[in-house]
Amino acid sequence: MPPILANYYLTYKCNSRCTYCDIPIKPENIRIKESQPETIIENLAALKRLGVKVLDFTGGEPLIYRHLPEVLRAAKEMGFFVSIANTGTLYPRMAKELVGLIDDLKFSLSTTDRDAYKAERGIDGYDRVIESLKLARSLGERPSIIATATKESIWGMEPVIRLAQELGVVVLLGPVFDFCGNDLLHKEGVKELQRLAKFDNVCVNWAFLEFYLNGGNQIKNPRCRAVSSTIVVSPDDHLLLPCYHMHDERLKIKHENGRSNLDELWLSPPVQLKRKAEGSWDFCQGCTIWCYFETSFLWPPDKYFLLNIKSKLRWGKEKAKQYVEAKTGLNLTRKLPGSVDKKVAKLPANPMSGSGAEQSAGCGTCPTGSSSSSGASQCGSKSGANESGELVSPVELIRRN
């Protein structure tokens, strides 16, 4: 199986502090420096030579990476399908620069309750996410909501679905995975996801839900194809093996005369030995880290393969409906009963027009939610936020806690 996907970590920095993610606060990650765009673009050319089709630019918060538009333009010119999931709190400041450069634009949102959002994310950014969704739609994008179901948020997903239907976007529901001490969903929670999957504008990966219920990866009969199907690159230009979340090896990528050796490195005997052992290490037992299983389920043909195909067909149908509704104004969605938040409903189709345009330079997480009186963002280059909304560096956040 050739590699299909590259999970490219542009940065480990993030302006949120989600309860189920430790990427921006891990001590070893705080020291990591981001690569220059030229280095990343050389790696993209190497990924193209390997046959990679899909680039998932991730983080941290990928929109923190200041050279993102340049990298995305290069990726599109090379013919990659580009995916980005982000918090939605930074999108307005560079939305126009990103138009047409992202094929699968996803905003992370798991609740419609502002207090619950703040408790889960560590910042007061709920309204900013809604603004971002509406702004993306107004710019002709077809965004999605990605909703992570935790033991706390799973029972409040119907309002998220209602919101997605009202905004004309697809919501991707998935269970939180076993990383950094997360409490997994019990069987009742997964059944709730299966029930919600029947509503319009909702997509789940049926293969992953079945896999989740069956106890995840089993090292005696591994289903994970993390090394074979997915190439993982760190912000500081290393190939991570076997994956980001469980990497026990970092191989430095070399660059000479404008050419990256990432493709040669991946094909080298040491990496191919890792490939043969994928999914069979002790730390792989019971793994349900979603980032590597969507592509793992593409081969070989089995029940997960078939359920994955079913899920992809559903996703295609819902995205096609989203496109038709946006182009024609037709209402093809069977909406859940009830109404969305009044404050959400009042937001214009393009919330950044008029007085909102002045906010676009800010990050969306400053206490005022806008730029300073001088027109400059109050947050400067800081990359974190505490519970009060004050932006702090990751190091300072750890020191205070």
Which pLDDT band holds residue 381 (cuts at 50, 70, 90)? very low
What's the mean pLDDT in 254-283? 97
Which pLDDT band holds residue 180 (cuts at 50, 70, 90)? confident
Return the pLDDT at 322.
96
- Express each pLDDT in 41-64 by its tens digit: 999 999 999 999 999 999 999 999
Q: Per-residue pLDDT for 371 more than 60?
A: no
Q: Per-residue pLDDT for 137 more than 70?
A: yes
- Express each pLDDT in 160-173 by its tens digit: 999 999 999 999 99
C-alpha span between 278 and 267 (Å, rounded): 15
Return the pLDDT at 347.
66
Return the pLDDT at 177.
86
CATH architecture assigned to 5-328: Alpha-Beta Barrel (3.20)
Return the percentage of the chain with pLDDT > 70, whole number. 85
Q: State the pTM of this model.
A: 0.86
What's the mean pLDDT in 274-290? 95
- Domain locations along the chain: 5-328, 353-400
Which residues have C-beta within 8 Å of that of residue 87, sequence separation ≥ 6? Answer: 14, 15, 16, 61, 63, 107, 108, 121, 125, 129
What does pLDDT average to over the chain? 88
